[in-house]
Amino acid sequence: MLPPLVNPFSKRAQRYFKLEFGEEAFAEAKRKLAGEVKLGLSPEVDAQSFYLLLMSASLRGYASKEARAAKEIVRKHVSSRIWTLLQQQGWGTSSFNPESLVYLLEDFELLTIAQAGVKLEESDTRHLLAAHKGEPLLYAAPWHELLPALRSRRLSLTQLYLTRGYALLTIKQAIECYAESIAERCDDFMRSVDGEEVQDERLEEIADALARVALSSMPAFSKRAGKALKEEHFPPCIRATLAGVGSGSRNYAITVLLTSFLSYARIAPFNAGENARIADFIDDISVVTEEVLPVIYAAAERCSPPLFEDQPLEKLNINYHLGFGLTEELRLEDSGKSPWYFVPNCEKIRREAPSLCSPDKHCKEVKNPLVYYTRRRYAREEK
Amino acid sequence: MFREATPAERQRYYREEWRLNDVPDFILATIAQREFGFDHRGEGPNDRYNRIATPAQLEGMLINTAPYAAYASVSFYEKPEKREGWLGAELVFDVDAKDLPLRSCSCSPGEVCEVCLAEAKEYILEVADVLRDDFALKELHFVYSGRGYHLRVLDEEVLHMQSPERAAVLDYVAGGVVPEPELLELRRGYPRVFRMRMLRLLSLLNLETLRSGGVPLKQADALLNPKTLRRVANELEEGSFATLKETLRSKGFAKFLELVRRINAEMLDAKVTVDVKRILRLPSSLHSKVSMKCVYIKNMERFDPFKHAVPRFVQERG
């Protein structure tokens, strides 16, 4: 007998893909939206409800908040469903057979440690048990099976135990990796489909519901100017830059990263939009000259060698990056003479200045240092 | 040596010394899928988007134009002349001796010598060990780039990885993340990689480096005592941090781990690893700026750049 469907992208599930959806599939999609896990569904309705969610989200674009919400729903749903099925199979009792999970995860190469023939050293077993709060490493997956999950950066290879090409995993890690892999495949699916091909108004209805889910999990930020900078909420890369940077990464760290980060964090932390100018957000240039620039200059001074010592023209370059053009004197009326450079994404920073990127637990949730800051600086206030 | 090659020397190299056989098979077998780039006048590889259909065409091109530098992409394309239809890319690690964050030689910035080239070689061999032991990768190819080493991985598993996945592997092999404290002493897995990187750095540490990482003066001084360093090194091999923790105290220890992470992250050129459309110096071509050959290395243990990568015209310069 085939195991229940857990992977909407498995070959088995893909047989049910079509451009027309019945009432049952819509009802199930709504249940998934509400976070309900229903077992015993027909695989056809089940698979189609996943596709419905993703096709609805794709109507708003695969990088939209609706798409992110749909991905998150799929990830949570897959994970919850696996746990529910495992509980039915005796998880948590002495009768539980670890191989149950191996059979459950379709299109995913997972073995028990015994099947993989990997042996852990005794001292490592002790350390790992303590680190995983008593949960043993039961499974082995070839490391490249985890590649889709690495893309989201929720998972890091450095947190896993790799040996002989296998990542050894606790049951919780195995399920997380699997659910994350499925969630990442949602992106490919949403890119490959066009929800508009489905002539059904109900897709718009689902897309609206996804938008509501997305908004409910976001702080109600509004477009407004920022408040005084709070260093304790800065991400690790900015803190590393403030501490001073070596000669290889100085220019990038100070002129590109720190300048954009501090200016946006202080002046326009939310939705500044394209072609934004500093003058759109502040009436007093002293916000730049007294709150932003001194912090940049102090960090430049801490660089090795100090940035302006051998490159005094970088001061002009900083003004340029702030949108004032190549000028020594900052005046609000010059704002907009050059682009106000936005904060680079984490991926770009890792590439340009790898030594600055030392992610902490909050980094995993964001793709841009400014989002890290706004979430920590303003989330509590909004609540 | 390390003096720029003249146009006449370049011509002599490609006409008299260069052999098609010196281009590795893994490039010749996929030649029509790779983008080729050339630097004709020492201004950077600005002649790009070239498709070379056959080894004979490459031979003709190099012998006739004797470029200042020649490059081939690590990526494969349906249409390399347009860089369209990306089919995959080798996974590459690049260590440049001139950019090592810590060197035991006294080279000026941007220069290399026997000592730092040997350190770069030792380091890239360590990277390869991790790829073999922990990732079970087998298709590892070494290239001497002229001032450092490229490690090119061609296993099927890596060819379709995108930048974030490549960055994750890079973090692992470089030791670019401080391990979770409770896992630091694991005998295998990532914490061992981090410890091995730390072990290598021990012999290169000095007071200035430790202080730049925020290690307090007194603790830094204590660590640099040769006896302490030896004990720390022995313990690290066994997976213990006892003396290191005792010497540096809790705050100094945390700063030291962060310093090691930072240095580790600078050992390899991350841009090369994460770029899925990179062009790399073509093995067999001349690195004209330093007058050395870019060499595909068949036996890494025995490879000596000063024996195997010096063109004849340099030996005859006198």
Cα–Cα distance measured from residue A144 to residue A125, given in angstroms and rounded to the nearest whole number: 23
CA B160 and chain centroid, separation: 21
CA B285 and chain centroid, separation: 17
**Which pLDDT does position B248 carry in this prediction?**
96
Cα–Cα distance measured from residue B236 to residue B242, given in angstroms and rounded to the nearest whole number: 9
Choose the closest CB to B135 out of A128, A162, A240.
A162
* B270 close contact with A: CB closer than 8 A: yes
Which residues of B fall within a CB distance of 8 Å from A243? 214
Distant-in-sequence, close-in-space partners of B160: CB < 8 Å, separation ≥ 6: B88
SS3 state at A229: coil
Q: What percent of chain B has pLDDT over 70?
A: 99
State ipTM: 0.91
Cα–Cα distance measured from residue A111 to residue B120, given in angstroms and rounded to the nearest whole number: 38
Strands B91-96 and B148-153: antiparallel
Instruction: Please judge whether A158 and B171 are an interchain contact, meaning their C-beta atoms are less than 8 angstroms apart.
Output: yes
**Which pLDDT does position A134 carry in this prediction?**
92
Choose the closest CB to B134 out of A162, A247, A355.
A162
Give per-residue pLDDT as tens, B218-234. 999 999 999 999 999 99
Q: Delineate the domains of chain B, giving CATH numbers in brackets.
A: 1-161+276-318 (3.90.920.10), 176-267 (1.10.8.160)
Domain ranges of chain A: 11-216, 231-382
**Which pLDDT does position A160 carry in this prediction?**
93
Is B96 one of the annotated active-site residues of the chain?
A: yes
Q: Pick the catalytic residue: B39, B96, B99, B171?
A: B96
* B190 close contact with A: CB closer than 8 A: yes
**Which pLDDT does position A221 carry in this prediction?**
43
Give per-residue pLDDT as tens, B58-79. 999 999 999 999 999 999 999 9
Q: Average pLDDT for residues B268-296, to the nearest whole number?
A: 94
Cα–Cα distance measured from residue B252 to residue A266, given in angstroms and rounded to the nearest whole number: 33
Task: Please report, for residues A38, A102, A160, A175, B23, the alpha-carbon distance to residue A178 in angstroms, rounded to integers and kept in the order given.
Answer: 19, 11, 14, 5, 41
Is B47 one of the annotated active-site residues of the chain?
A: no
Q: How far is the first Cα of chain A from the last one, in angstroms, to the nearest whole number? A: 49
Q: How far is the first Cα of chain B from the last one, in angstroms, to the nearest whole number? A: 10
Residue A194 tokens read as: 């066009």
Give per-residue pLDDT as tens, B248-274. 999 899 999 989 988 998 899 888 998
Report chain A (383 residues): mean pLDDT per 10 consecutive residues: 81 85 91 87 91 90 81 93 92 92 92 93 92 94 92 84 96 95 90 75 90 70 67 93 87 95 91 75 88 94 88 88 86 83 89 83 88 84 58
Distant-in-sequence, close-in-space partners of A286: CB < 8 Å, separation ≥ 6: none
β-sheet bridge partners, residue B144 = B149, B295
Residue B65 tokens read as: 């134009």
**Which pLDDT does position B245 carry in this prediction?**
96
Distant-in-sequence, close-in-space partners of A369: CB < 8 Å, separation ≥ 6: A234, A235, A237, A238, A257, A261, A343, A346, A349
**Which pLDDT does position A222 carry in this prediction?**
41
Cα–Cα distance measured from residue B40 to residue B47, given in angstroms and rounded to the nearest whole number: 8
Instruction: Please judge whether B188 and A160 are an interchain contact, meaning their C-beta atoms are less than 8 angstroms apart.
Output: no
* A159 close contact with B: CB closer than 8 A: yes
**Which pLDDT does position A217 carry in this prediction?**
65
Give per-residue pLDDT as tens, B99-134. 898 999 988 877 899 999 999 999 999 999 999 999
Residues 20-79 of A with CB under 8 A from B: none
Q: Pick the catalytic residue: B25, B47, B94, B129?
A: B94
Mean pLDDT of chain B: 94
Helix axes A314-321, A293-301, angle to 10 degrees: 140
Residue A279 sits at φ, ψ, to 5 deg, of -65, -15
Find the closest chain A residue to B273 by CA distance.
A351
Rounded to a whole number, what is the distance in Å from the CA of B196 to chain A's nearest CA?
A: 14
Burial of A140 (0-12, 13-18, 19+ CB in 10 A): buried
β-sheet bridge partners, residue A166 = A142, A163
Residues 34-93 of B with CB under 8 A from A: none
Choose the closest CB to B180 out of A131, A162, A163.
A131
Instruction: Please judge whether B190 and A162 are an interchain contact, meaning their C-beta atoms are less than 8 angstroms apart.
Output: yes
> Following CA atoms A249, A253, A254, A258 in sequence, which dihedral angle do they give, to the nearest 10 degrees?
-170
Choose the closest CB to B182 out of A130, A247, A357.
A130
**Which pLDDT does position A195 carry in this prediction?**
63
Is B25 one of the annotated active-site residues of the chain?
A: no
Q: How many helical (H) and strand (E) elements, i.e. helices and strands, does chain A have?
A: 19, 4
Give per-residue pLDDT as tens, A261-312. 999 999 988 866 667 788 878 888 999 999 999 999 999 999 988 999 888 8
Do A4 and A47 touch, CB atoms closer than 8 A? no
Rounded to a whole number, what is the distance in Å from the CA of B302 to chain A's nearest CA?
A: 27
Q: Average pLDDT for residues B186-210, to the nearest whole number?
A: 94
Residue A303 sits at φ, ψ, to 5 deg, of -70, 165
**Which pLDDT does position B1 carry in this prediction?**
65
Residue B49 tokens read as: 């988007």
Cα–Cα distance measured from residue A196 to residue B269, given in angstroms and rounded to the nearest whole number: 44
Instruction: Please judge whether B135 and A143 are an interchain contact, meaning their C-beta atoms are less than 8 angstroms apart.
Output: yes
What is residue A215's DSSP assignment? Answer: H
Which residues of B fall within a CB distance of 8 Å from A127? 182-183, 185-186
**Which pLDDT does position A220 carry in this prediction?**
45
**Which pLDDT does position A274 carry in this prediction?**
65
Instruction: Please judge whether B274 and A165 are an interchain contact, meaning their C-beta atoms are less than 8 angstroms apart.
Output: no
Do A21 and A198 touch, CB atoms closer than 8 A? yes
What is residue A363's DSSP assignment? Answer: G
Find the closest chain B residue to A148 by CA distance.
B165
Residue A248 tokens read as: 């290889």
Which residues of A fall within a CB distance of 8 Å from B270? 350-351, 354
Angle in degrees, CA A145, A159, A239, rounded to 5 = 125
**Which pLDDT does position A380 carry in this prediction?**
63
CA atoms within 13 A on the CB side of A178: 31
Q: Which of B236, B265, B234 is nearest to B253 (CA)?
A: B236
Which residues of B fall within a CB distance of 8 Å from A351? 163, 167, 270-271, 274-275
Burial letters A102-112, b for 16+ CB under 10 A, else e: bebbbbbebbe
